[in-house]
Amino acid sequence: MSKMQVTVLGCGNSTGIPAIGNYWGACDPAEPKNNRTRSSLMLQQNGKTIIIDTGPDFRQQLNRENIAHVDAVLFTHHHSDHVNGLDELRVLKHRNKLDTIACYANAETIEDLNKRFHYLFMGGNHALYPPIITPHVIGDEHYGKVKTVEGFDFIPFKQNHGTCESIGYRFGDFAYSVDILNLDDAAIETLKGIKTWIVDAAAYHQDTNPVHANLETIYALNEQIGADMVYLSSLSLAMDYQTLLRELPDGYAPAYDGLKLEL
């Protein structure tokens, strides 16, 4: 089996860092790894590329990594910081002479995207604007089971994101979990045995965040999951890179834009 390369396109929370107004919060502007775009992930294997989430920085992220072709997109959920770059798929479709680009998400996300980006689903009012994407629903029957897209085998699992349900994805010994408040027993069972886990920790030390996990929750979850290496993502303005490096225990590290893992 060929190795899979994972690239963190973005590891920031919904504001990005710096936030509007060139606001860095507790993050040191002199540390390049504090410059964070919104959360997105790229997986490459056997000449194929799939993306998880197309946030508002998607074009910038693809140009930074010199990516001109995408074979499919998986979505975690419908929040704007994870989907608002969906329009950029139009350029990828036309440049690569694709019929459409397959997009996978739960029913709630597909419905929301269809309302907001209906022209990408149905096409516009002229031949110049054909449909861009073909939607595929990840339903209850798919959770906890292996699904294959463009040669990538993965297992989707449900995640509690407070105000909605998001999808996490396990690819072999690797898993990606944004955005989460906590995980139920079924998700934990799906994740057991992974070696590398990228996970939302945007709540940091907050005890009352209604939509994101804090460090204590991540530590407790990984006691059951057993990942050897945990990279924290969805990093907020409160989470300075070097401070996190000093604070986190062995086996934990902050992610950063451009982080590459070969699995």
Distance between start and end Cα atoms, the chain: 11
Q: For the sheet containing 40-45, what is the strand order?
A: 133-137, 101-105, 72-74, 48-52, 40-45, 5-10, 260-262
Beta strand pairing status for 48-52 and 40-45?
Answer: antiparallel
Per-residue pLDDT, averaged over 246-260, amounts to 98
Question: Quick one: pLDDT at residue 126?
Answer: 86
Provide the 3-class DSSP secondary structure of residue 164. coil
Spatial CB neighbours of 40, under 8 Å, sequence gap ≥ 6: 8, 9, 10, 51, 52, 53, 54, 55, 57, 58, 61, 82, 85
Spatial CB neighbours of 247, under 8 Å, sequence gap ≥ 6: none
Identify the band that residue 172 occupies on the pLDDT scale cut at 50, 70 and 90: very high
- Tokens 């396990």, residue? 170
pLDDT in tens, 133-171: 999 999 999 999 999 999 999 999 999 999 999 999 999
pLDDT surpasses 90 at 2: no
pLDDT in tens, 199-223: 999 999 999 999 999 999 999 999 9
Identify the band that residue 38 occupies on the pLDDT scale cut at 50, 70 and 90: very high
CA 200/CA 215 separation, integer angstroms: 9
Question: Quick one: pLDDT at residue 19?
Answer: 98
Per-residue pLDDT, averaged over 69-97, amounts to 97
CA 93/CA 133 separation, integer angstroms: 9
Rg of the chain over Cα atoms, rounded to whole angstroms, equals: 18
Question: Quick one: pLDDT at residue 154?
Answer: 98
Question: Quick one: pLDDT at residue 254?
Answer: 98
Cβ atoms of 194 and 177 within 8 Å: the answer is: no
Provide the 3-class DSSP secondary structure of residue 84. coil
**Conformation bin of residue 35: beta by default, left when phi > 0, alpha when psi is -120 to 50:** beta
Percent of the chain clearing pLDDT 70 (strictly above):
100
Provide the 3-class DSSP secondary structure of residue 209. coil
Query: What rounded mean pLDDT belongs to the chain?
Result: 97
Residue spans of the domains in the chain: they are: 5-262
Question: Quick one: pLDDT at residue 128?
Answer: 84
pLDDT surpasses 90 at 10: yes
Question: Quick one: pLDDT at residue 136?
Answer: 98
- Topology at the third CATH level for domain 5-262: Metallo-beta-lactamase; Chain A (3.60.15)
pLDDT surpasses 80 at 1: no
Percent of the chain clearing pLDDT 90 (strictly above):
97
Per-residue pLDDT, averaged over 28-50, amounts to 98
CA 178/CA 13 separation, integer angstroms: 10
Instruction: Specify the pTM.
Output: 0.97
Provide the 3-class DSSP secondary structure of residue 13. coil
Cβ atoms of 218 and 230 within 8 Å: the answer is: yes
pLDDT surpasses 70 at 29: yes
